[in-house]
Chains A and B, each alone.
Chain A
């Protein structure tokens, strides 16, 4: 093999190396996306999230709004329930605002937790199976809040369950509202609240 034929390759290699080192030299910033963990994220719930979800797709507000207009999308909010501290002063006011979701959502608190509770795992799996009518290609959209890992975990979980058309909406309800899109008030759907009837 002649040296002249190798030159372009070497050039490409140099460019790649330059590109890589250029990225590495980028100063870390709090706004920078996090790396995708191999497994569910079990660290702090709020913070920088990844830019991607392997096995799924990232969707943004306007695109999601269009997708929902087509109908037949399973839309799940995996935000946690607001937790009233046990040791607040007796009678201390606890007044969480009504929970707002994207119209058409089912709200399954706990489905996005890193180490999911076994009963919620079963419940979430059942809910998805029922809503998608066991079609692994049925579009599913998972969201919670901005800078919140629960939706990333929830979407990853749906991918692990075997769904092949999972969308993660990382901007969450804040991004949805910022885009000027409507919301509705929802109650949580939990194993004890029963299964929503179609």
Chain B
């Protein structure tokens, strides 16, 4: 992807200081208390007005969101056609997330089409292209789950790329705000101590040649560089996982390129097809070029 192009397509329009009107020396004729009483008195009228206004604003918001996605789509996929992904890809996100720093995203690629990979775009995050999965020969791409940070109310897009090169789109709106500046929940020292530890949990029973799901838990703060300390006013430097390669006996399950939108301590649920007993290997590289690797026996030894 041409990053320059992405920049150009999305350059923020330079607006003049449209904020000056707050300083407009308008005649102050009413005290706040009076205004409050009035506000209460006209409550019914206001609600009526709000209904019609809501429609205009929603329409404007929808237009702005569509425009943003159009620009992102062009920047990421160029002039390639992106078609409706019904029957190929499903995207599930809670409409209103409980924790904006930990929004669960579930992708279902249950169609019959062979899938090469999938892109996850969080439109209104400052760094919108959040994840790009590329599946390998050992993948069962039907189920994929990650957890992400959401900075403000946004559309989320998942684009599956078929082996035939065609692009299939799924879209959801999610209401969450502040996920990018939310703290990691522990100190930097603590995070760095445990960084790189991993756990793998198999979901279902192992049978050679049968699809199996796994939950991969990785200790990594994924500091996104946007978390401010209110006393020092310094930002915790960004340090995040850039790439995750998961293989089975040397053959790829998936490769993930990720960005600062991934949550702290990432949890990835994925499917794979083990042809026989073997070893699942995870290799991670982060933005400081630190690498972490771990091997797991499949099936897992008892206990």
- A residues apposed to B, CB below 8 Å: 30, 41-47, 57, 62-63, 65-67, 70-72, 74-76, 80, 82-89, 91-98, 101, 103-107, 113-115, 117, 130-131, 133, 137-139, 145-148, 165, 167, 174, 177, 179-187, 189, 193, 196-198
Contact = CB atoms under 8 A, between A and B. Distances in A.
6 contacts: A84-B126, A88-B287, A98-B12, A131-B23, A189-B17, A196-B20
Contacts of A63: 36, 39-40
B19 A87 contact: no
Secondary structure at the B interface, as helix, strand, loop or mixed, is loop
Interface stretch (B53-61, B104-112, B247-255, B267-275): B53-61
A87 B287 contact: yes
A85 B225 contact: yes
A95 B151 CA distance: 12
Contact of A45 (B16, B230, B259): B230
A44 B18 contact: no
B35 A97 contact: no
A14 to B, nearest CB: 35
Contacts of B31: 137, 139, 165
A40 to B, nearest CB: 8
Contacts of A41: 230
B32 A67 contact: yes
Contacts of A75: 22
Nearest to A193: B17
A128 to B, nearest CB: 11
Contacts of B175: 174
A104 B55 CA distance: 21
Interface stretch (B77-85, B210-218, B231-239, B293-301): B231-239
A77 to B, nearest CB: 8
Interface centre among B18, B25, B152, B288 (most CB of A within 10 A): B18
Nearest to B32: A139
Interface in B1-23: 3-4, 6-7, 10, 12-23
B292 interface: no
Nearest to B184: A44
A36 B204 CA distance: 49
Secondary structure at the A interface, as helix, strand, loop or mixed, is loop
Chain B, interface size category, equals: 35 or more
B128 interface: yes
Interface in B56-105: 56-58, 60-61, 68, 75, 98, 100
Contact of A46 (B3, B46, B182): B182
A97 B124 contact: yes
B15 A185 contact: yes
A137 B33 CA distance: 11
Interface of B: 3-4, 6-7, 10, 12-32, 35-36, 38-40, 42-43, 46-47, 50-51, 53-58, 60-61, 68, 75, 98, 100, 124, 126-129, 151-153, 175, 177-183, 224-226, 228, 230-233, 235, 237-239, 242, 259-260, 287-288
Contact of A115 (B36, B46, B178, B230): B230
A85 B235 contact: yes
Contact of A87 (B17, B35, B75, B238): B238
Which 6 interchain pairs have the tightest Cβ spacing? Answer: A85-B225, A180-B54, A85-B238, A72-B28, A114-B230, A66-B39
A105 B20 CA distance: 8
A167 B126 CA distance: 30
B238 to A, nearest CB: 3
Given A113-B230, A146-B177, A96 B12 contact: yes
A71 B19 contact: no
B10 A95 contact: yes
Contacts of B55: 180
A85 B226 contact: yes
B13 A198 contact: no
B302 to A, nearest CB: 38
A66 B46 contact: yes
Contacts of B32: 57, 67, 139, 165, 167
